[in-house]
Amino acid sequence: MEIKVRNWGTTRNNEEVFMYTLKNEFMEVEILNYGGVIRKITVPDKNGIMENVVLNLPSIEDYEKRSPYFGSLIGRNAGRIGNATLKLNGEIFNLNKNSGNNNLHGGIDNFGHKIWNVEILENFLGLKLSLESPHLEEGFPGNVKIEVNYILKDNQLIIEYYGTSDRPTYLNLTNHTYFNLSGDFKRDISDEYLQLDCNQFIAVNEETLPVEIKNVEHTAFDFREPVLLSSALNSNDEQIKIVNSGLDHPFILDHEKTKAIFLEDKISGRSLEVVTDQPAVVIYSGNYLYEVGNLNSDTICKKHMGICFETQNYADALNFLPDKAIITTPEKPYIQKTKFIFSK
C-alpha cells in the first residue's frame, strides 16, 4: 500500500495542483486537490489486465476549460435548484444562475472548481480534503466547513462527507465520477448492465427539474432486474427523450436489497456496486458528452461514454419535496457515506 504525490501544474489563478495516487494490491486511484477530482480508478478485468474505468482529461487546463465535472466533488448542492431560489425557514436566498434560470451544482465558483486542502490520513490508505465556504457564497446561507475523506480499502473506494454550518443551511453533496467499465474507454456504456433497488423514479421537465414521482413498472426506468443500458438509452419513452436520449433522473432507493446500485460489463468481467446511506441517486448517462472533445490523443469523447451515480438527497428538495429536505444546522451536521465496490 502506498500514497504518492506529484505536482500536476497550476490553475489559471496560479494555484498549485497536486495529484495524489493511492495504491493497494487490488486497485489504484488518482485524486486531484483541484475539485477533489477522482481522475483515475484502475482495476483489473477478468484476465487481470489493469485499466482505467473513469473518464478523465489530460491536463489541468483541460479540466478548467471543458470538464463536465469529471470526477468532481459537487456542492454546495448536487443538481439544479429551480429559479436559483432557495427557500429556508421563511427566508428566500437568491443563488447564482449558471444553467439557464437555475443554479446547477452549487453555482459558478462551486466546489468542483476550488483547490481543496489535502491531508494524508495516518490510519488509513486515504486522504482528507477540506475547504471553507463563506456565508452567501454563490448565494447560499451560512459559513460552512466541509471535510471529505477518500479511503481505499481492499476493492472499495469509500467517500465520507462531513459538513458544519454556523446557521441553518442546505447542503447536498455528491461526487460526479463518470464510470465506464470497458477499461480505457474502449466502448461506450451501451453494453453494460444496470440494476437498481428502486421502485420509483422522479420525472423531469425540459430544464431537468423534478416534477413528479412515478413508479418504474412498465417504463424504461425499471432496473429492478439487470437491464442492458442500450435498451433504456434507445427507448422512445418521453422521459428518455426529454434529456437528449438517456438518463438524467433521480431514482428513489428502497434500501431493501444488499445491492442498491449495480453496474456490470460482461465483456470485461468488471462490475461496480454502489452502497450509500442517501435516499436517492441521480443517474446521468452522459447524454451531452460529445461536447467534451478528446479524452486523450487517441479517444474522442462520445455520447453515453460514461455513467454517473450521484448519491444524494432528493433533487431540488426545498422546492420539490420540502418535507424531505435535510437541513444542516449548528446542532445537526451534514453526514454522508458512499462506497464504490469493484469486482471482476
The confidence band for 258, taking pLDDT boundaries of 50, 70 and 90, is confident
Q: Which of 80, 81, 32, 88 is nearest to 57 (CA)?
A: 32
pLDDT digits (tens, 9 = 90+) for 205-225: 999 999 999 999 999 999 999
Q: Tell me how far apart the alpha carbons of residues 92 and 95 are, in angstroms, rounded to a whole number.
A: 9
Give the closest residue to 53 by CA, choosing from 30, 21, 33, 22: 30
Rounded Cα–Cα distance for residues 306 and 281 (Å) = 16
d(CA 96, CA 93): 10
Closest CA to 70 of 122, 28, 35: 35
Give the number of C-alpha atoms closer than 13 A to the C-alpha of residue 65, restricted to the C-beta side. 10
Torsions phi, psi for 78 (to 5 deg): -90, 130
pLDDT digits (tens, 9 = 90+) for 64-122: 999 999 999 999 999 999 999 999 999 999 999 999 999 999 999 999 999 999 999 98
pLDDT number for residue 259: 78
Q: Calculate ∠ Cα 22-65-190, nearest 5°.
A: 65
How far is Cα 175 from Cα 177, in angstroms, rounded to an integer? 6
Residue 298, pLDDT > 90, answer no
Q: Pick the catalytic residue from 105, 176, 249, 304.
A: 176
Concerning whether 291 is annotated as a catalytic residue, the answer is: no
| Beta bridge partner(s), residue 340 | 157, 274
- Return the C-alpha cell found at 292: 467534451
In the chain, the percentage of residues whose pLDDT exceeds 90 is 96
Reference 178, options 257, 70, 299; nearest CA is: 70
Burial 266-289 (b: 16+ CB within 10 A, else e): eebbbbbbbbbebbbbbbbbbbeb
Please, are residues 95 and 81 in contact by the beta-carbon 8 Å criterion?
Answer: yes
- Find where cell 451531452 sits: 288
pLDDT above 90: residue 297? no
- Computed on alpha carbons and rounded to an integer, the radius of gyration of the chain in Å comes to 19
Interacting residues of 200 by C-beta distance below 8 A, sequence separation 6+: 213, 214, 215, 216, 251, 252
The CATH number of 2-343, from 2.70.98.10, 3.40.1360.10, 3.30.1280.10, 3.40.50.720, is 2.70.98.10
In angstroms, rounded to a whole number, what is the distance separating the alpha carbons of residues 29 and 19?
Answer: 10
> How would residue 229 be classed by pLDDT, with cut points 50, 70 and 90?
very high
Prediction pTM value = 0.97
- Is the pLDDT score of 53 beyond 90? yes
DSSP-assigned letters across all residues of 66-78: H-S-TT-EE-SBS
Q: Give me the pLDDT at residue 132, please.
A: 98
What is the per-residue pLDDT for 142?
A: 98
pLDDT value of position 119: 98
Q: Is 310 a catalytic residue?
A: yes
- Identify the pLDDT of residue 339: 97
- Digit-coded pLDDT (tens) for 185-204: 999 999 999 999 999 999 99
Task: Provide mean pLDDT across the span 149-162.
Answer: 98
Mean pLDDT of 289-312: 96
Residue 221 contacts residue 285 (beta carbons within 8 Å): no
Across the chain, mean pLDDT equals: 97
